[in-house]
Amino acid sequence: GAVVSQHPSRVICKSGTSVKIECRSLDFQATTMFWYRQFPKQSLMLMATSNEGSKATYEQGVEKDKFLINHASLTLSTLTVTSAHPEDSSFYICSARGWDSGANVLTFGAGSRLTVL
């Protein structure tokens, strides 16, 4: 089945630095990838839709200058948290759109736990 690899799984950084998270589709091409943020004990919140070869589409309230998304190839999307602050600490999960039982579904990466000190 479809596999999405996300790296790093955990990252700790100092306040003011930038962190890049990579999301790769390993055995299929993903023209669209989605980035979610998840707070403890809560559901997933869609941050943005990453489109290969074009600009990402951000959800309302998500700062595009803070969360830079690049989807330069059909198998790689990156999320860069710029000038990170403690409030950016969270669990970030990427996913790619796939196909199951005749319907569009999502295949998820394992997530990246970001801690900003």
Partner 1 sequence: TQLLEQSPQFLSIQEGENLTVYCNSSSVFSSLQWYRQEPGEGPVLLVTVVTGGEVKKLKRLTFQFGDARKDSSLHITAAQPGDTGLYLCAGPIYNFNKFYFGSGTKLNVKP
Give, as ranges, the residues between 63 and 92 that touch partner 1 (CB under 8 A): 91
By C-beta, is 6 or 25 nearer to partner 1? 6
Q: x/- string (CB under 8 A) for partner 1, residues 2-41?
A: --x-x-------------------------x-x-x----x
Taking every pair of Cα atoms in the chain, the longest distance, rounded to a whole number of angstroms, is: 45
Residue closer to partner 1 by CB (options 49, 70) is: 49
Select from 27, 43, 61, 87 the one that contacts partner 1 (CB under 8 A): 43
Query: Is 25:2 a contact under the CB 8 Å cutoff?
Result: yes
Nearer to partner 1, 14 or 41 (CB): 41
Q: What angle do CA 83, 84, 86 make, to 5 degrees?
A: 145
Nearest to 73 by CA among 30, 104, 13, 11: 30
Site residues, partner 1 (CB under 8 A): 4, 6, 32, 34, 36, 41-44, 46, 49, 57, 91, 93, 95, 97, 100-111, 113
